[in-house]
Structure 1
Amino acid sequence: MTPRDLLARLVAIDSVNPDLVPGGRGEGEIAGFCATWFTERGFEVHRLERRPGRPSLVAVRKGSGGGRSLMLNGHLDTVGLAGYDGDPLEPEVRDGRMFGRGTFDMKGGVAAMMVAAASAENLRGDVIVACVADEEHGSSGTAEVLEHFTADAAIVTEPSHLEVTLAHKGFVWFDVEVEGRAAHGSRPELGVDAIVKAGHFLVALERLGHDLAAGPGHPLLGTGTVHASLVSGGEEASTYPSSCRITLERRTVPGESPQHVEDELRAVLDHLRATVPDFRATLTRGLARDPFEADPEAEIVRTLIANLGEPAVIRAEPFWTDCALLDAAGIPCLLFGVDGAGAHAATEHVDLASLDRLTDVLTRTITGFCG
């Protein structure tokens, strides 16, 4: 089966992440399809499903022994189908592109790594193909896979426009609860307006963003960023609001830890407490994901670049990927995937020539690393 044929089969299977879209189909059906595909080609297949209905599939092609192992990682889930221009589950080919939900993000990468793992020859080391759940929300799939499997190196086949991606940003979410005092709107001497007080914090947050942008940056990623994502507060027009909650996101670069960011924000709040009358607020840290940076001299990086057949373009991504989890587990890795456009958009496509090229580069990289 060619990667194009396999991609069309994968796109036709609804695998919307139910953590993003309530009622989404999840990865059950597509994991079953992949399990059959791998079994027919002699792979050892493992289904991991700690969360019912949210399976990840790990297919292992055993080498003859004595070689290095390589994990290929890609996610099976997609974002929602609502608002897609056309039928998102009916792959359409025109002008050298395939259109459909997930063609670019990232069933194209999944199809390429599956075909490459089945095609590589004369392998001493094992090839481990991890088709994971839940990357679009919480990455529970890769986290579960790493509890059971490891490898000497890994490639994540997220779309990268056939450029070698060696770093990406992390993120930390926080809630800031600004406290006021409820009172009737006619009694300003009794009330403290939490929303107005929150405005001071929002101005300070904007200033922090400007300071970050003007500071030293990572050579590939630039500087970290911060923005307010959600604001909620108040009860009715005639009442002073007793609280206002701001959810914010801080995007991080290598060298910026969640604790570093928390200390940064606490310093902002301490300054406001000292300078703004009646300012009171609490800070709560939420989900945190570390940034990622590969060693450019790692053997897997050198092997993939050697098999490109042309000078490599080295790049970084502003978004987070499962590379960070693999790296934290001690598995040297990088990101390399298809060209195309439309991730999470109303139309989405993969460049089919890039799909074929990705499959070829992965096949030769597997042979070079595991052979």
Structure 2
Amino acid sequence: MPPEPPDTDPGRLLAELIAIDSVNPDLVPGGGGEAAIAGFCGAWLAARGFEVHRLEKRPGRPSLVAVARGTGGGRSLILNGHLDTVSLADYDGDPLDPCIRDGRMYGRGAFDMKGGIAAMMVAAARATAHGPLRGDVILACVADEEHASSGTEEVLESFTADAAVVTEPSHLEVTLAHKGFAWFDVEIEGRAAHGSRPELGIDAIAKAGHFLVALEELAQRLAQGPAHPLLGTGTVHASVIRGGEEPSTYPAHCRITLERRTVPGESADSVERELTAVLDRLAATVPDFHYRLARGLHREPFAADPEALIVRTLARHAEQTLGHPPAVRAEAFWTDCALLDRAGIPCLLFGVDGAGAHAATEYVDLASLDRVTDILTATIADFCS
């Protein structure tokens, strides 16, 4: 079989994507953002006949939607991937210089998730190269997944489809569920006083210790509770603690930021009730224990229907390409699948093999990149025809 021409080679495209700084500026002030990489992807897709839309509700933070319109009567499919990466600062070597060693391509974003972006762009171009399919093929190259997922939220205000595939890295395994999360701040209130006047002060940090012990007990109860068949149980941990002014003063405030990872059946509302019960019990049993609870960012967990048509279609083509049925798995981290699912779009996660997401060394296995591209190409042609 002759080699693919350069303009449909996912490895070549991936190298070009890695070389573009797209660090999320919400994570790293001054980060490159998505403008340059969205412009590159838009030009690449427009040259291959795609109708390109640039969405930029947040100035300087564009998402790109490219559409290959169908002839009508077919199913539409979204392929979703995020353009932003985490910091370049701690990368071992030049993070924007893609290099190949032992069948792996190294560079920031190679694994998370410019490999998935390259695979879905090339797959869509190949699937539509000989004319339109019956259904629309929609590529959503989104901003800000690494922080708050404002990109996918903006895309879903204007676009929908009959199904979606999120091309986050999954080691060539079909991912049908992932956890959600909810962040909360617990403010423990004390009373400031000079360190020599204990009768006047209430030590907010010492009172917070009661809550930390109760939080650890909650984590143990969760670990022993009912488990989701793929995801296991929810978890909770204290992430940040702040309190006190100087050694000679009783602290008036202590703030604990915590994260609760959720599984299907749990929500930010249920977590708030759970935490309130813990805190109210302390308020009733610990003298001078006073608190305020504030909800922060939260995202729902995700669970796909294993019998959904898009799941069965992709799994069938994965089996044909891999020579065996793909493993079915769940993922502990959150992805944009949850937003697509909430919008009523059946979806799953499927992507490349490799390692090093957010780490000092990051790479994608190039053979897996080719296989994912082949599987996505066949899935698009089948589902949208």
TM-score range, shorter chain: over 0.9
Residue 80 (1) aligns with residue 78 (2): no
Q: Residues of 1 paired with 2:27 and 2:274: CA distance?
A: 30
Secondary structure, in 3 states, of the residue corresponding to 2:247? coil
Secondary structure, in 3 states, of the residue corresponding to 2:241? strand
Q: Residues of 1 paired with 2:236 and 2:59: CA distance?
A: 35
C-alpha deviation, 1:64, in angstroms: 1.8
The answer for the alignment partner of 2:337 in structure 1 is: 323
Secondary structure, in 3 states, of the residue corresponding to 2:298? strand
The answer for the alignment partner of 2:71 in structure 1 is: 64
Secondary structure, in 3 states, of the residue corresponding to 1:219? coil
Q: Show CA shifts across 1:265-285 (max 9, x none).
A: 000001101111111111111
C-alpha deviation, 1:147, in angstroms: 0.3
Q: Show CA shifts across 1:332-354 (max 9, x none).
A: 00000000000000000000000
Aligned with 2:60 (options 53, 76, 100): 53
The answer for the alignment partner of 1:193 in structure 2 is: 203
Residue 115 (1) aligns with residue 125 (2): no
Letter in 1 for 2:240: L
Q: Residues of 2 paired with 1:52 and 1:355: CA distance?
A: 32
- Counting only pairs closer than 5 Å after superposition, residues 203-242 of structure 1 correspond to structure 2 as 203-242=213-252
Please report the TM-score for the alignment, with normalisation by the length of structure 2: 0.96
Q: Show CA shifts across 1:67-125 (max 9, x none).
A: 00000000000001001101000000010000000000000000000000010146110
- Counting only pairs closer than 5 Å after superposition, residues 89-104 of structure 1 correspond to structure 2 as 89-104=96-111
- Counting only pairs closer than 5 Å after superposition, residues 275-314 of structure 1 correspond to structure 2 as 275-308=285-318, 309=320, 310-314=324-328
Secondary structure, in 3 states, of the residue corresponding to 1:124? coil
Residue 29 (1) aligns with residue 39 (2): no
Cα RMSD (Å) of the superposition? 0.6
Aligned with 2:193 (options 183, 196, 200): 183
Aligned with 1:274 (options 266, 276, 284): 284
Secondary structure, in 3 states, of the residue corresponding to 2:105? strand
Aligned with 2:352 (options 338, 341, 348): 338
Q: Residues of 2 paired with 1:195 and 1:216: CA distance?
A: 33
C-alpha deviation, 1:312, in angstroms: 1.9
Q: Residues of 2 paired with 1:61 and 1:305: CA distance?
A: 23
Q: Residues of 2 paired with 1:284 and 1:39: CA distance?
A: 46
Secondary structure, in 3 states, of the residue corresponding to 1:307? helix
C-alpha deviation, 1:213, in angstroms: 0.2
Secondary structure, in 3 states, of the residue corresponding to 1:288? strand
Letter in 2 for 1:117: A
Q: Residues of 2 paired with 1:50 and 1:182: CA distance?
A: 44
C-alpha deviation, 1:172, in angstroms: 0.4
Secondary structure, in 3 states, of the residue corresponding to 2:199? coil
Residue 360 (1) aligns with residue 374 (2): yes
The answer for the alignment partner of 1:351 in structure 2 is: 365
Secondary structure, in 3 states, of the residue corresponding to 2:138? strand
| Structure 2: gaps of 5 or more residues | 1-6
Please report the TM-score for the alignment, with normalisation by the length of structure 1: 0.99
Secondary structure, in 3 states, of the residue corresponding to 2:315? helix
Q: Show CA shifts across 1:150-189 (max 9, x none).
A: 0000000000000000000000000000000111101111
C-alpha deviation, 1:131, in angstroms: 0.3
Q: Residues of 1 paired with 2:126 and 2:375: CA distance?
A: 12
C-alpha deviation, 1:63, in angstroms: 1.6
Q: Residues of 2 paired with 1:346 and 1:257: CA distance?
A: 33
Letter in 2 for 1:242: A
The answer for the alignment partner of 2:182 in structure 1 is: 172
Q: Residues of 1 paired with 2:155 and 2:148: CA distance?
A: 14
Secondary structure, in 3 states, of the residue corresponding to 2:172? coil
Pairs aligned (count):
371
Q: Residues of 2 paired with 1:352 and 1:339: CA distance?
A: 8
Q: Residues of 1 paired with 2:126 and 2:332: CA distance?
A: 33
Q: Residues of 1 paired with 2:333 and 2:212: CA distance?
A: 24
Aligned with 1:42 (options 45, 49, 59): 49
